Structure 1
Amino acid sequence: MREISDERTDGLFALASQQDSKSRQKIRSQRTDDSNRGKINLLPITLICDGIKDAKIMGDVLKVALSSGCQQVYVMEGCVNIWNSSVLKRAAAAHFKIPILPNQQWENMEKLVSHEFPQSVFLSHGGENGSTINDFTNDPEVTRIGKNSGVIETIKRESSVEFNSDEDILVKGHIPPINLDEVVWPKKTNILIVGDITFGAFSFAVKLQNRGANCRVIKLPLSVNGDMLTPTIEVSVLLFDA
């Protein structure tokens, strides 16, 4: 026990398999059955965790996702390992009761959600006026896009063909804000992105917005402007509001 544990142990250990596509489907089926029997209430919400590097916060977020009835959780590359011992302890068995897909990349997310296109995409926080590419000027990809934008404008001026590149869409993209008390959660598929919102999350949301999804940055009613809440608090408020 001492050899396989951290500094302290509760006197128990277990061997368990990590989730794969087969076990995730089994979890989905069980939760659907429980929902049909009225045992649990499932929300039509997929949670995406972005830039969460603190293990305890990640564990708490997964626990809230399970408790509130989220459909599933995507954990983006760059987040803390969901099998970190601190995540496991704080998540309180969420790893085995809700579908979790770790180590995802933003460039693949649009394809992953395409089988059930989301009606709405919500970002848990952003600027006072929503979110634009200018909020991510330190991101190397944004720097590269900035250098290319002049070339794109030249091509558009000199071409008689309508020209809309992904980069052009991102440069012009704007995700408007919405107050928490104005949010209407559709009864079909929704996506909620929480954590340290990165350019990848913005890019994903703008591309879905361009395809017809309703995308908004949710503004929580804070008494002090500029205050930031932890992802745990944000996800708790937003999911239980839904």
Structure 2
Amino acid sequence: MSGRRCVFQCESKSTLFGLPKVDCILHLVDVVFTVKCHLTFNLHCICRRLVSIARSKKLREQQGKVVLEGKRLIRSALDAGAVAQTVYFSSVDALRELPLDKLSRTSIVKVRKEDPKIWSDLDISKNIIAIFKRPEASHLTFSEEKYGKPVPLTLICDNVRDPGNLAAVLRSAAAAGCHSVLLTKGCVDVWEPKVLRAAMGAHFCLPVIPSLTWSDIPSHLPKTATIHVADNCSTTLTEDNNTVIPQQQKKPSDYGWVRGHQYPRKVEYEDDDFCGFEDYDSGKSLETQYYYIDWVARHTGLVIGGESHGLSREALRLAERTGGRRLLIPMVYGVDSLNSAMAASILLFEGRKQLLSLLREKR
């Protein structure tokens, strides 16, 4: 701290400012708390720690930590009840915009302005970065006053592996007021930095529960829930343009994203793809209907598959057991498909519209 101008006051327990740590008192927004200021020779260790946690799923899981960048994302996490362990800031202005009363047990470290540029792989780095205890949905609070009352609609992501797609899906689910989002094993890590950045705080708007097996899914849904799937089968329309006669594809994993014409995509599969499922009928008993025809009744689940691997057979089994349907988004001829995020947005907002209509009718 010696020789450096600061906008906050420093009081040292030692007369020597050359110590590795200096206890400082911040006077910001009438909140006083202890700040640990590290000198520059500690920055290499800090940098290595941040980058390792941010980039390694294994380390995130082993250490139970995640890295959040930027005041908006950090504030959203704190408001939801996530626990910040360490905050690194280069600008007091950014720190001032956080709910400081929720940082009373957090180590807060002042760093140089150029340090976040070294730590972050963003083109425009943030001036505040924080390490949080890995949040659990059951330990977070989601304010109905802030986000509104959720509708009884749960999104289930099945093997969504692209970070950009998952982030867009989470934003759509939050915007549609979904009850929760369930992620099966095989989805990209929801706390991966690219997902966190692109989701713009959606992680803290609604419960997001990752790494579930298909046997876990029912325990996160009401017993009366009906599960539908986004369809990718080819179709033929009757003259009234309301009835859909599906021309089934070869296997359930063809149904991962949405198509609009009657010519099935040619995809090659390995024999191992069918291992253990020889006796399954690929969900042929599921009815197919247009997405804008009523498909919600009580609590409803919607399964969206990833674009690379499509829906799993377990997803179709669950839909079949609960009386669900394949939901088809019609498109013009010549357009091959919609990606997972776009399909999820269309279906989620249609589901919200139908659920709100039902609620109004019951009043």
User: Greater CA radius of gyration, 1 or 2?
Assistant: 2
Q: Does structure 1 residue 134 correspond to structure 2 residue 251? A: yes
Q: State how far apart, in whole Å, the 2-side matches of 1:45 and 1:202 are.
A: 22
1:13 to 95, 104, 129: 129
Q: Does structure 1 residue 206 correspond to structure 2 residue 206? A: no
Q: 1:45 to 1:182 in 2, by over 3 A?
A: same
Give the number of aligned pairs: 207
Q: Which amino acid aligns with 1:218?
A: L
Task: Identify unmatched segments of 5+ residues in structure 1.
Answer: 150-169
> Secondary structure in 2 aligned to 1:87?
helix
For the 8 Å contact 1:40–1:69, the answer to whether it is kept is yes
For the 8 Å contact 1:106–1:200, the answer to whether it is kept is no
> Secondary structure in 2 aligned to 1:65?
helix
**Alpha-carbon shift at residue 111 of structure 1 (Å):** 4.2
| Richer in helix (by share) | 1
TM-score (norm 2): 0.51
> Secondary structure in 1 aligned to 2:333?
coil
Structure number with the bigger relative contact order (C-alpha 8 A, sep ≥ 6) is 1
Q: Does structure 1 residue 193 correspond to structure 2 residue 303? A: yes
Q: State how far apart, in whole Å, the 2-side matches of 1:237 and 1:61 are.
A: 11
CA deviation string 1:17-73 (max 9, x = no partner):
33225414x33xx33xx39xxx62422111011122211111111111111100001
| Richer in strand (by share) | 2
Q: State how far apart, in whole Å, the 2-side matches of 1:19 and 1:138 are.
A: 38
1:43 to 143, 151, 155: 151
**Alpha-carbon shift at residue 240 of structure 1 (Å):** 1.2
Aligned partner of 1:80 in structure 2 is 188
Q: State how far apart, in whole Å, the 2-side matches of 1:86 and 1:16 are.
A: 16
Q: Percent sequence identity over matched residues?
A: 20
Q: CA RMSD in A?
A: 2.8
Q: 1:138 to 1:69 in 2, by over 3 A?
A: farther
Q: 1:43 to 1:138 in 2, by over 3 A?
A: farther
Aligned partner of 2:226 in structure 1 is 120
Q: State how far apart, in whole Å, the 1-side matches of 2:274 and 2:340 are.
A: 24
Aligned partner of 1:236 in structure 2 is 345
For the 8 Å contact 1:109–1:204, the answer to whether it is kept is no
Please list, as runs of the form range in 1=range in 2, the aligned pairs for 1:29-68 lying within 5 A after superposition. 30-31=143-144, 34=145, 40-68=148-176
Aligned partner of 1:145 in structure 2 is 277
For the 8 Å contact 2:226–2:323, the answer to whether it is kept is yes
Aligned partner of 2:206 in structure 1 is 98
Q: 1:7 to 1:55 in 2, by over 3 A?
A: same
Q: 1:80 to 1:183 in 2, by over 3 A?
A: same
Q: 1:232 to 1:77 in 2, by over 3 A?
A: same
Q: Which amino acid aligns with 1:217?
A: R
Q: Which amino acid aligns with 1:20?
A: E
Q: 1:173 to 1:57 in 2, by over 3 A?
A: closer
CA deviation string 1:77-108 (max 9, x = no partner):
11111111111111111112211111112233
Q: State how far apart, in whole Å, the 2-side matches of 1:226 and 1:138 are.
A: 27
Q: State how far apart, in whole Å, the 2-side matches of 1:202 and 1:74 are.
A: 17
Aligned partner of 1:155 in structure 2 is none
**Alpha-carbon shift at residue 141 of structure 1 (Å):** 5.8
Aligned partner of 1:2 in structure 2 is 117
For the 8 Å contact 2:167–2:195, the answer to whether it is kept is yes
> Secondary structure in 2 aligned to 1:193?
strand
**Alpha-carbon shift at residue 131 of structure 1 (Å):** 6.1
Q: State how far apart, in whole Å, the 1-side matches of 2:219 and 2:224 are.
A: 12
**Alpha-carbon shift at residue 220 of structure 1 (Å):** 0.4
